[in-house]
Amino acid sequence: PPQRLLSKDKPVENVPENYYPKVSIHIPAYFEPVEMLKQTLDALSRLNYPNYECVVIINNTPDPAFWQPIQDHCRALGERFKFINAEKVQGFKAGALRIAMDRTAVDAEIIGILDADYVVDPDWLKDLVPAFADPSVGLVQAPQEHRDGDLSIMHYIMNGEYAGFFDIGMVQRNEVGAIIVHGTMCLIRRAAMDMAGGWSSDTICEDSDLGLAIQELGWTTHYTRHRYGQGLLPDTYEAFKKQRHRWAYGGLQIVKKHWRHFLPGKSRLTPDQKREYGLGWLNWLGAESLGVVVALLNLVWVPIVAFADIAIPDKILTLPIIGAFVVSLAHFLSMYRARVAIKPGQMLGAMIAAMSVQWTVSRAVAQGLITEHIAFARTSKGGLSRMSIEFQAFWEAVIGALLLIGAGVLVASNSFKQITEIYIFAGVLVLQSLPFLAAVAIAILELSRINSFQFWRDSAIRTAELIGLRPVALPTPAGTAQPVPSEVRRETN
């Protein structure tokens, strides 16, 4: 079992009496739904902690319908809540957070970072701030959680996919102090942030960049698996993919920026920390990209094998792919069953959601290899964005279809030759098509009525009425879509 997790059931030891260092909680916001952000601020006003402030930094949002109600709400909540409306902010989210630091109370020792959609537990600070009584602790991270996973089947499986990272990967990394900082629900010692250089805009994953910089300086980091806050999932599959693209592109930027710190004597990272980061980057960025490259190369081999009677190099084209698929599937299922408290159906959906972004991640890696920077893409949440009229898995559909056609061509051309290796190769192409077809399936599901859980609730009620049964009261999820004061034309901060 994990040894280093902070637990709500096991308070931090050796904490001085009346240890309440001042916490400054920063909430950057860009064209956020007003009622959603009000919920976030209301939750912060209920914190069971005596010494904190909240700095709301609305940036590059000139429409007063988005910022005026928040300014009024901050005034109503009292002097703890500072409001900043900053226009023409440079440096994306990091630029906004730098402005928030300039308005932070001089006696604040800890900086909390919260996304605009997160409703926090009243005990968030009370339970986690005591970890900073140890002067070596620079950062404490709580997991992300989402309160709208019951809106649709798509949201349900996305929620399961996120849970795997926070209950498996982050727990494992925490054992050697190599957690990935993910922006929201994060507490950072101000001195550690200052030593690391503060918020940098040279990557689009400023949170993970700063977290690694703090670890490179030798600060201790902690993680808790307890959910101290709940946010919102991406509105659409397009937003889900854009978020994953940003994470992958930003991850590669961090690799390019920090690789020298992994050389001997260049930082205070331990060998275990270096191993976790290295394997994490290889398993995610490398494996996803390699999977796409091999699938495309195998497509090139199809006409050669089918019509040129050239022997298949099975040690390259088939056996490693089958082995990797079996191992990956077994690892995914075993770890989810052991670590993630979700139902089997959601676990299967999480696997489909995870596979569906293979093409997205590989594109981000390829883009990161040939470019230095792209614009920060805000993840649309809270019902603000409309679903795009474009099909969100076009290239995945093309590649997936070509792989299936290739498998069919191999089987048809082998009907007389009956060469076993060719049938195996055809099966491999089918396996390689699964991540692409997973994206197609989710994109189609999103456009269908059956995606909505409300459709199934209404269908159950109508069915009950038709057969003469009294309708059963079914749970109805809380609506998260907020009124949109005016059209939002941009999604980049």
Residue 199 maps to which CATH number?
3.90.550.10
Q: pLDDT tens, 142-152?
A: 999 999 999 99
Query: Do 139 and 28 touch, CB atoms closer than 8 A?
Result: no
Residues 261 and 407 in one domain: yes
Confidence (pLDDT) at 488: 41
| Same domain flag for 62 and 130 | yes
> Minimal CA–CA distance to 186: which of 101, 100, 120, 278?
120
Residues 326, 208: one domain?
no
Has residue 200 been placed in a domain?
yes
Residues 214 and 242 in one domain: no
Provide the pLDDT for residue 458: 86
- Cβ atoms 5, 223 nearer than 8 A: yes
**Domain check: are 216 and 106 in the same one?**
yes
Q: How far apart are the first and last CA of the chain?
A: 41
Q: Could you tell me the maximum CA-CA distance found in the chain, to the nearest angstrom?
A: 83
Give backbone dihedrals phi and psi of 202, rounded to 5 degrees, phi first.
-85, 0
Task: Give me the residues paired with residue 112 across strands.
Answer: 25, 187
- pTM across the whole model: 0.90
User: Residues 188, 254: one domain?
Assistant: no
> Do 221 and 274 fall into the same domain?
no
3-state SS assignment for residue 23 = strand
Cα 419 off chain centre by: 44
Say how many domains are in the chain: 2
Of 223, 111, 113, nearest in space to 165 by CA: 223
**What ranges in 356-487 are assigned the alpha helix state H?**
358-370, 394-413, 420-447, 453-466
Q: Note down the domain range covering 209.
A: 23-144+182-233
Identify whether residues 133 and 277 lie together within a single domain: no
Residue 194 lies in a domain: yes
Residue-wise pLDDT for 195-207, tens only, equals 999 999 999 999 9
Q: How many residues does the chain have?
A: 493
- Domain boundary among the residues 201, 233, 265 is at 233
- Whether 49 maps to a domain, the answer reads yes
pLDDT digits (tens, 9 = 90+) for 230-286: 999 999 999 999 999 999 999 999 999 999 999 999 999 999 999 999 999 998 888
Instruction: Give the end of a domain, one of 199, 216, 233.
Output: 233
Task: Give the dihedral sign, CA 476/482/487/491.
Answer: negative
| Regions in the chain scoring below 70 on pLDDT | 376-378, 380, 382-387, 469-493
Residue 83 is assigned to a structural domain of this protein: yes
Q: Which structure tokens are listed for 257?
A: 């920026």
Domain assignment of residue 413, yes or no? yes
Q: Are residues 102 and 29 in the same domain?
A: yes
pLDDT at 68: 97
CA-based nearest residue to 292, from 391, 200, 198, 361: 361
Residues 296 and 365 in one domain: yes
Alpha carbon distance 444, 241 (integer Å): 15
Structure tokens at 101: 């630091």
Do both 368 and 413 map to the same domain?
A: yes
Angle between helices 64-77 and 34-45 (to 10 degrees): 20
The stretches of 178-236 forming alpha helices (DSSP H) are 190-195, 206-216
Is residue 159 situated within a structural domain? Answer: no
Residue 216 shares a structural domain with residue 363: no
Q: Is 431 a member of any domain?
A: yes
* Inside any domain, residue 3: no
The per-residue pLDDT for 491 is: 40
Q: What is the DSSP letter of 389?
A: S
